[in-house]
Amino acid sequence: MRNLFLYRLLSGLLLLSLLLSPTMAMAFSAVPAAEAELEPEESPLAPLSVPSVTARSAIVIDFDTGEVLFNKDGDTRRPPASMTKIMTAFIVYEEIAAGRLSMDTLVHISNHASHFHRGSWPGHIVIPAGSHQRVETLLHLIMLPSHNGACVAIAEHISGSEWAFAQRMNQVAHQLGLQAHYENAHGLWGNSKSARATAVLTQEFIRRHPDILRITSTRFFSFNGMAANNTNRILSYPHVDGFKTGTTAAAGFCLSSTAVQNGRRVISITMNSACNDTRYSDSMRLLQFGLAEVARRDGLLHSLTVDVRANMPAARRNTDIVFTAQLGNLNTSYLTRVQGGGFTLNGQTVATFDAFSPVNRNTFTLPHFLPAYSTLEALEVGFFVDLPGGARRTGSITLPVSDQPPALFRDIHRHWAEGHIEQAVGAGLFSGTGNNRFAPNGDMTRAMFVTVLGRMAEQMGIDVAGSPHPPFGDVSTDGWYSRYVAWAFAEDITQGVSDTWFGARRAITRQEAATLFYRFMQHYSITLPGDATASFPDAYRIDSWAYHAVAEAVRTGLIVGLGDGRFAPNEAASRAQLAVIFVRFMDAYAAMPPAEEDVAAAEQGAPADCYDEGLVASYEWDDSVAFCPVNSHPLPSP
């Protein structure tokens, strides 16, 4: 009884000295009323004066970005005292999130946990041995009056013993990358961590489990009729909603605190302050500086610009359009953070983005498909950025809808090979890949190449049917490419990648494509005109078996180098590249001058367009596909 009286007397004197101290009085005088707002003392754009603090270690971080706003020896490990309980409570919330605990779970209080409070703070709050307490009650006892016995009880419940729970604490610290070591759940001895580690843990705690602020912002609490109020006196400061005190002889006076203003939160840590009042005055100066500094940095965002562009001057129906929003005029010195942003299309929000830092992310894209049946005359696309404090920056573009016919495929409009792709598809050589797409930049497989080659041969009057089935395990008897592979293999135009495997799904390389075209023309005695030459810096990479074929393809203009001048013989040939090659061959073949016997047949009034070995072959003229049967030549267009 006498000990309890002395404890209460000393507590009262300590609180009185705190309130009467000049340092604390000065700190509180900055915000004399609870409704007072924290305003920066200087211009929002001017650098702020760095506060002076007496704590041996101190740090302030921007909660949203993690950027350090103030640092004084923040990486030195020190005893954290009861700030240890931040990790204890964090693990409790992790257990709740995992479904292994709930706020209503009852925890058995062992004799050890019940008697652990004796000789430590708060000695007057007794948790009866053998009782069962709700997890939420124990969390309040841990985070408000800093009850050590409650920590022991929760540790025993989760891990079986406090020692095992300490190992769990160290495991979590390692996972979060914290400079910390734990030997117990309460912090009376043995533990160590840095101010930065405490700030990062507090940040992660609030981010994952914001409900903890409901507890840490509670100032008054009672347990079994006994006052169990919050030891954190800084809660009387505007905008502060936690977090945790810590005091031992070895640790000195420590405080983790957090405050939020205009949607922007900062976290302050002070360790090893000399006395109780400087712990609070230091923390309040740091919180004031932190909130003012993020407000200053956020003010730099007001010059942010938004530029919206499209990948085409006018939208075409049945086409994929890509809109790009570019944020500009950024100050890259700080990781300022906006509240969010998004795209609008014709006045409706169609995509949103959560809070982000424009320094790390300043380009956004919006893919949009304009259907073939669309009746829109224009697309109005905008991008908005919501700044801290409620301001908004916007940019927009009005894209007219072209009166062109709908694109053949949604992904070929304005592609460099669009015209050739349309010709190749119109000639029946190529088809789409499904879903209204051609996939122009996709790889062409060996099976698809031989199929297109076979389709072209059929249009030239070549019979590709009836060839024996090839000895390849990946070519079935009834596949869509089977008869074409059989024909090309029988005519020695193509071979397998091995004696038993064709490699149907393997991408065909550029030198392979040139070689198969060359063998096809050789086999059917087709010689295209041309005298083009080219010099490729990577010509030495062309395999010897393909060198003559590549040279012939270059001479006739069927194949040219890539944009960077290389031939890239071993790179996969794209569908667009090969569509161009096939169309070039079609055009070159159709433009070949007629043989003398063909001219004679024409002069005799032959009713056909093609002459083959002295016989008139029926062939309907088509300007887009002016092919005649092989070994004959087209006559002039009527």
271 in the Ramachandran plot: left (φ > 0), alpha (ψ -120 to 50) or beta?
Answer: beta
Can you tell me the distance from the alpha carbon of 216 to that of 218, in angstroms, rounded to the nearest whole number?
A: 5
Chain centroid to CA 583: 40
Q: Is 82 a catalytic residue?
A: yes
Annotate 217-240 with b (16+ C-beta within 10 A) or e (fewer): ebeebebeeeebebbbbbbebbbb
Cis before 122? omega within 30: yes
Tokens of 49: 């004066």
Please say whether the beta carbons of 586 and 623 come within 8 A. no
Residue 19: strand, helix, or coil:
helix
575-590 and 418-426 helices cross at what angle (nearest 10)? 70
Catalytic residue among 85, 257, 273, 283: 85
Fill in the amino acid letter for 571. E
Fill in the amino acid letter for 195. A
DSSP character at residue 593 = P
Catalytic residue among 57, 72, 114, 146: 146
Can you tell me the distance from the alpha carbon of 366 to that of 310, in angstroms, rounded to the nearest whole number?
A: 9
CA nearest to 159, candidates 105, 113, 90, 95: 95
Catalytic residue among 57, 82, 256, 281: 82
Annotate 499-533 with b (16+ C-beta within 10 A) or e (fewer): eeebbbebbbbbbbbbbbbbbbbeeeebebeeeee
Please say whether the beta carbons of 405 and 413 come within 8 A. no
Dmax of the chain from CA atoms?
Answer: 134
Can you tell me the distance from the alpha carbon of 343 to that of 331, in angstroms, rounded to the nearest whole number?
A: 23
Task: Sort strands 68-72 and 57-62 into parallel, antiparallel or unpaired.
Answer: antiparallel
Annotate 567-581 with b (16+ C-beta within 10 A) or e (fewer): bbbebbbbbbbbbbb
Sheet harboring 363-370: ordered strands across? Answer: 305-310, 319-328, 363-370
Task: Sort strands 68-72 and 106-108 into parallel, antiparallel or unpaired.
Answer: unpaired
Tokens of 536: 């490729």
Q: In whole angstroms, how far apart are CA 452 and each of 101, 447, 461?
A: 64, 9, 14
One-character DSSP codes across 87-145? HHHHHHHHHHHTTS--TT-EEE--HHHHHTTTTSSSTT----TT-EEEHHHHHHHHHSS
Q: Is 43 a catalytic residue?
A: no
Q: Is 146 a catalytic residue?
A: yes
Can you tell me the distance from the alpha carbon of 57 to that of 55, in angstroms, rounded to the nearest whole number?
A: 5
Please say whether the beta carbons of 440 and 417 come within 8 A. yes
Q: Which residue numbers are catalytic? A: 82, 85, 146
